[in-house]
């Protein structure tokens, strides 16, 4: 796909380099960008905690300090440092404090457009995380900063996609914000595909973790229900225990913590639940109540209750359990498939849209339109049609089998995965499956009354036809 876009840019420049060069150069540069993922949500919803869990380090302060009032971009780079971009166009460097954003910035928050923190984190090689101030705040300037970043200011959006953070279940103004996001994207379908909801307090979902029901399991059920109800606004909803994920991924659990928690295995659960946080005595021989309260701040009451057994095997075992139980792995997989893995398609589509607007601009040379039309028919760019069909259908029927089939074409690592066959399948077997599915899709499109499904069938017909042609050439 990248080569096809470069060839289209070259064709534009051969016709009218003075008139097309600014746009074609921008398009070429855009193909090297990483996805910009904004983390948005209400105040104290757990945005910074989630950023820390994803990065694998404590880089974003979670307390209500000055730096949390500005939008901060965490991106890959070295040496590790920070920069403030002011509203009057200045760029002011600053040092990190113990690898973290300092509490105070070199200029007052009201003069800051945004801050950038450069980190040597492998996670950030594939994405830039944007930590935003809270929505629904009592400080209008904080909410305005988030809206400028996400919804755009003067036609420019800093975010390509969203992680929408909810404390438990979304409130009405959360849904209203998602509708605003949909209004600034090209289509509602694109908005849904570019937004994932996160319930960040899964370990306290529905109340206390000391009851009879498992709150994390309840949160997962709630997330699945909300995803079904609001499939037109969110592509997916994932339940995550933010504190547990941060403690595990950032390496905050020490052997002393694990040893202490393991020794609480013999303490009655009722005594643990009803403990007085201000009690200065011991809960168990040699274990101060204040130390247990400190650990609860780190891993939550859920971690105290259910982490005692894995803690007996040390800090590594406890961290592994925290990470697995928190749900952060499910979120990372969703990001890898939906955003990072698919971003090459999103970047290419955006490049095509820019070139198409240029071709149809008033006074543009007529040959440019023909170049765009020819490029759209190239097999290398057919995944853009698959992405469009996927987003359009998923916006109205997210659970339709065609959505899964289109997703498999985009995310499959090889032809066997795209055709749902064994990796040991021969080229001839793969080709026969592709031809069969192509014919089935063609027949289904003829009788399908719903336009979005009919479009999906037509796109898949061409997908399997192109695949069969490629496999046929390879078998010669």
Q: Which of 4, 129, 49, 30 is nearest to 350 (CA)?
A: 30
**pTM recorded for the entire structure:** 0.78
pLDDT at 243: 95
Cα dihedral angle (274, 170, 326, 58), rounded to 10 degrees? Answer: -100
Concatenated DSSP letters of 304-365: HHHSHHHHTT-HHHHHHHHHHHHTHHHHHHHHIIIIITTHHHHHHHHHHHHHHHHHTSTT--
The pLDDT-based confidence of 342 (bands split at 50, 70, 90) is: confident
Is the confidence at residue 453, as pLDDT, over 90? yes
pLDDT at 456: 96
DSSP code for 259: H
* C-alpha distances in Å from residue 194, one per residue of 2, 349, 413, 475: 21, 14, 21, 38
Rounded distance between C-alpha atoms, residue 198 and residue 38, angstroms: 13
- The beta strand positions in 145-221, using DSSP E, are 161-166, 195-199
Top pLDDT among 385 and 339 is at 385
pLDDT at 155: 34
pLDDT at 298: 95
198-213 pLDDT, tens digit per residue, is 999 999 998 889 988 9
pLDDT at 455: 96
pLDDT at 319: 97
Top pLDDT among 124 and 32 is at 124
3-state secondary structure of 156: strand
Determine how β-strand 161-166 pairs with β-strand 81-86: unpaired
Most confident of 32-36, 185-189, 461-465: 461-465
Specify the length of the chain in residues: 476
Is the confidence at residue 158, as pLDDT, over 70? no
Average pLDDT of span 128-142: 68
249-296 pLDDT, tens digit per residue, is 999 999 999 999 999 998 999 989 998 878 888 888 889 999 999 999
421-441 pLDDT, tens digit per residue, is 999 999 999 999 999 999 999
* C-alpha distances in Å from residue 389, one per residue of 194, 205, 207, 398, 437: 15, 35, 41, 12, 17
Number of H helices, E strands in the chain: 20, 11
Is the confidence at residue 224, as pLDDT, over 70? yes
3-state secondary structure of 437: helix
Q: Over pLDDT 70: what percentage of the chain?
A: 89
pLDDT at 337: 75
Q: What are phi and psi of 224, to 5 degrees?
A: -65, -40
291 Cβ contact partners less than 8 Å away, ≥ 6 residues apart: 260
Q: Which of 138, 166, 134, 169 is nearest to 150 (CA)?
A: 134
Is the confidence at residue 168, as pLDDT, over 90? no
Rounded distance between C-alpha atoms, residue 372 and residue 4, angstroms: 11
Rounded distance between C-alpha atoms, residue 456 and residue 247, angstroms: 43
pLDDT at 178: 74
Rounded distance between C-alpha atoms, residue 129 and residue 123, angstroms: 10
Is the confidence at residue 188, as pLDDT, over 60? no
Most confident of 148-162, 230-244, 253-267: 253-267
324-335 pLDDT, tens digit per residue, is 999 999 999 888
Is the confidence at residue 191, as pLDDT, over 70? no
The pLDDT-based confidence of 156 (bands split at 50, 70, 90) is: very low
Q: Which of 450, 449, 444, 459 is nearest to 406 (CA)?
A: 459
Is the confidence at residue 117, as pLDDT, over 60? yes
pLDDT at 142: 53
Angle between helices 328-335 and 315-326 (to 10 degrees): 60
Hunting for tokens 């705040």 — which residue is that?
Answer: 137
Rounded distance between C-alpha atoms, residue 447 and residue 461, angstroms: 14
* C-alpha distances in Å from residue 474, one per residue of 74, 134, 426, 462, 471: 44, 54, 11, 18, 5
Top pLDDT among 392 and 305 is at 305
Rounded distance between C-alpha atoms, residue 359 and residue 234, angstroms: 33
Rounded distance between C-alpha atoms, residue 133 and residue 142, angstroms: 5
Please tell me the least confidently modeled range out of 15-19, 134-138, 471-475: 134-138
Rounded distance between C-alpha atoms, residue 252 and residue 303, angstroms: 13
Q: Which of 119, 139, 131 is nearest to 57 (CA)?
A: 119
């Amino acid at each position: 796909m990248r080569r096809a876009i470069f060839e289209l840019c070259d064709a534009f420049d051969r016709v009218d380099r003075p008139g097309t060069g600014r746009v074609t150069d921008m398009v070429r540069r855009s193909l090297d960008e990483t996805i910009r993922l904004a983390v948005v949500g209400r105040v104290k919803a757990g945005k910074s905690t989630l950023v820390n869990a994803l990065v694998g380090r404590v880089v974003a302060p979670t307390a209500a300090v000055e730096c949390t009032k500005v939008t901060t971009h965490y991106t890959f780079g070295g040496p590790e440092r920070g920069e403030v971009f002011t509203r009057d166009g200045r760029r002011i460097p600053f040092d990190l404090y113990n690898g973290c954003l300092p509490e105070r910035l070199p200029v007052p928050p009201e003069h800051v457009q945004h801050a950038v923190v450069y980190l040597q984190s492998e996670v950030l090689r594939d994405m830039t995380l944007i930590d935003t101030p809270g929505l629904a705040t009592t400080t209008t300037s904080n909410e305005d900063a988030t809206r400028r970043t996400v919804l755009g200011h003067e036609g420019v959006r800093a975010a390509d996609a969203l992680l929408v953070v909810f404390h438990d279940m979304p409130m009405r103004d959360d849904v209203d914000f998602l509708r605003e996001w949909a209004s600034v994207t090209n289509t509602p379908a694109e908005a849904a595909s570019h937004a994932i909801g996160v319930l960040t307090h899964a370990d306290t979902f529905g109340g206390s973790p000391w009851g009879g029901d498992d709150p994390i399991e309840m949160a997962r059920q709630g997330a699945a229900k909300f995803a079904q109800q609001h499939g037109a606004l969110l592509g997916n909803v994932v339940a995550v225990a933010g504190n547990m994920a941060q403690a595990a991924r950032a390496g905050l659990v020490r052997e002393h913590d694990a040893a202490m928690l393991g020794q609480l295995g013999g303490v009655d659960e009722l005594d643990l639940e009803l403990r007085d946080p201000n009690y200065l005595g011991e809960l168990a021989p040699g274990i101060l109540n204040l130390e247990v309260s400190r650990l609860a701040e780190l891993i939550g009451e859920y971690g105290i209750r259910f982490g005692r057994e894995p803690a007996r095997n040390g800090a590594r075992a406890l961290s592994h359990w925290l990470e697995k139980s928190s749900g952060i792995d499910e979120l990372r997989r969703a990001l890898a498939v939906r955003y990072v893995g698919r971003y090459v398609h999103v970047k290419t589509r955006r490049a095509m849209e820019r070139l198409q607007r240029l071709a149809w601009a008033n006074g543009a040379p007529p040959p440019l339109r023909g170049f765009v039309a020819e490029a759209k028919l190239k097999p290398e760019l057919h995944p853009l049609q698959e992405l469009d069909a996927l987003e359009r259908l998923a916006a109205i029927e997210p659970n339709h089998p065609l959505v899964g089939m289109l997703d498999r074409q985009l995310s499959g690592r090889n032809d066997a995965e795209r055709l749902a066959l064994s990796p040991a399948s021969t080229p001839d077997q793969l080709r026969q499956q592709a031809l069969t599915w192509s014919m089935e899709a063609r027949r289904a499109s003829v009788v399908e009354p719903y336009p979005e499904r009919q479009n999906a069938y037509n796109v898949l017909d061409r997908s399997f036809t192109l695949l069969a042609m490629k496999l046929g050439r390879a078998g010669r």
